A and B are shown apart, each in its own frame.
Chain A
């Protein structure tokens, strides 16, 4: 069609038209694309990419919030990080938090989803109950749990009523505080996992389970060999979302323990980055920590995705 149209045009103007049409074919709806993509792209550039690039730049300086002069220090901040007890401890804390927050909600989530994968008003109501913590602000959740886990809170009062003379210091004992914090995050994220697994369960063809049952497979074997492999995409989503959420955990830490009790007992990497940057004024150093955090999250996410996507089954 394009050739024919060009041939009908007289003189040398035909070549120009041909060029113009060809460009339009190569860039179909370029202006429309730009119009619709520009707002999102600009927001992404300003709020995500530009800060990342700036952070990398700052991490090579000794910039402080209120210091008038900033000097280029090369990779010194990264060298210091490798010897910084606070940062290394925050990596340890974050690793423990991440492991708990990725494993526990996934395990409980799939179990609860299997139990709730039924019809009826009760199951619908229970689904809402499990999802409710997910839609409440993390700060609100944290304040509520801080009250519940206080030494004179309802849990310890109940334990005392049951005869426990010295109930645990859920948030004040350095050996327990991190696990209390992880439990609260797990509790909040559980609803998300349940919903994703429920969606996955509803996509599992009933015929496969019926065929397995006819072949003599019991409920456990049916779940392990039919349902579970088909839940692989749900597992991928849950794992990656939980991994990223756990690694950048800040609000729970800030409200519930403020990184304590003591020095860094529950201080996650995100918490330490913000402390260094905005409390201790070392923006350059905090940026180096943030860059390391970004690299670790990106690497872990890519590796996890690759591994989990290999398990996924195409129906």
Chain B
């Protein structure tokens, strides 16, 4: 017989107090384990009053506030009343990719996202688009990852153009924008002599813009497949002569004082503000800057030219992609794709994106509205010229999909640009660093 059986009645049954405490402890443990240790679950499909719910990850910014995204969505839902869209805002424009990756890793990626850049990393979490779904896009295979198109190649951006302040050019006695690299250096020299900062720079990615420009004329113009060869291990940063030459040009700009190393600590909005307030004469920047320029008081005084190479031939870095992508685990895939395609193909949406973000929609048969600002018109015209002359090249650091650097390398490239401008590292050290980081990323 067990000891338990021999116990007197009172001892066999715990008191009410103890029973309560025991049960309470067990219940509390279960609740804590369930709530504290359980992971999150993805959003569930929902149909409310016949409407299909779709969540949409956007990135509010000074140029694209939440009201812009809301009005863009309203345009779609007006034409597609069966859709109900919930906006999910990323913490910031620059952190939208990291945020999306974290959401994807935790199974919470919204049904639709816009402007994802790290497609290689996100590819397993994104749904592929079919040939039929891509029939209206000008470059249906742009940004493909392992042959799969996971992001609508909805618009083109040229990165960088050189925006310049016509008044400051005139003040320094410069009659026309430079056409060759030697003329660009002479222009910068005249500006510096006149006490004007030649190039506005700042932060991480803005600092790297002249480097991307030099790589367009000196590397991609000669070796357009350089990045795919780097991915195969056939070339390296440190041993590629074209890479070294372009990087040296960029480092020399800083060494000559044409780039102000004191500006590398300022953020992107302040950098834009610096150019728009006349604190520098030239601003190498993506075509999207045209929207802010046209919204400013000095829009009539801003001109644009392509970063010139040694031979003076036009080379314009251009990237097509940046559109909407759909989560592979979207609760309602059909509704998510319907929304994404409608968002990218509705004329009113495209017109709004042209005006607010200076995008060049890469949609068959689309032409921008006629009432855009003068800076947008100049940038768009420059792109058209490059297209006519087949003079577009990939923008180094901004390529997408299989043509892009490995995940995580873009940030290293930007930081390395700061090292060159500050003089912390020389060209050889920076290129060697990029090779080392590349091996780690692989």
Contact = CB atoms under 8 A, between A and B. Distances in A.
B206 to A, nearest CB: 12
A172 B264 contact: yes
Interface in B322-351: none
A198 to B, nearest CB: 37
B101 A281 contact: yes
Nearest to A50: B37
A51 to B, nearest CB: 10
Interface string A54-90: 0000000000111110000000000010001110000
Nearest to A166: B262
Given A47-B36, A169-B261, A280-B407, A19 B3 contact: yes
Given A263-B433, A280-B407, A38 B28 contact: yes
Given A19-B3, A31-B21, A32-B21, A39 B416 contact: no
A151 B261 CA distance: 11
A216 B204 CA distance: 62
A46 B32 contact: yes
Contacts of A80: 440
Interface size range of chain B in the complex:
35 or more
A157 interface: no
Given A17-B8, A31-B21, A258-B204, A281 B408 contact: yes
B36 A174 contact: no
B104 A65 contact: yes
B7 to A, nearest CB: 5
Interface size range of chain A in the complex:
35 or more
Given A66-B121, A68-B124, A279-B98, A261 B264 contact: yes
B124 A174 contact: no
A107 interface: no
B179 interface: no
B296 interface: no
- Give chain B's interface secondary structure class: helix
B21 A16 contact: no
A110 to B, nearest CB: 34
A35 interface: yes
A84 B433 CA distance: 11
Contacts of B232: none
A171 interface: yes
A280 B36 contact: no
Contacts of A259: 415
A176 B370 CA distance: 50
Nearest to B207: A261
Contact of A16 (B7, B24, B33, B425): B7
B385 interface: no
Contacts of B433: 85, 263
Nearest to B22: A31
B125 interface: yes
A15 B433 CA distance: 77
B238 interface: no
Contacts of B399: none
B218 interface: no
A66 B109 CA distance: 12
Contact of A150 (B21, B265, B437): B265
Nearest to B37: A46
Contacts of A281: 101, 121, 407-408
Given A17-B8, A172-B265, 5 more contacts: A31-B25, A65-B101, A66-B125, A151-B262, A151-B263
24 contacts: A13-B7, A16-B6, A19-B3, A31-B18, A31-B25, A32-B21, A35-B25, A38-B29, A42-B29, A46-B32, A47-B36, A65-B101, A66-B124, A68-B124, A84-B440, A86-B437, A151-B266, A172-B266, A172-B422, A177-B265, A261-B418, A262-B424, A263-B424, A279-B408
Interface of B: 3-4, 6-8, 11, 18, 21-22, 24-25, 28-29, 32-33, 36-37, 98, 101-102, 104-105, 121-122, 124-125, 204, 261-266, 270, 407-408, 411-412, 415-416, 418-419, 422, 424-425, 433, 436-437, 440-441
**Shortest beta-carbon contacts, A-B, top 8:** A172-B265, A280-B408, A65-B105, A262-B419, A262-B418, A171-B265, A46-B36, A169-B262
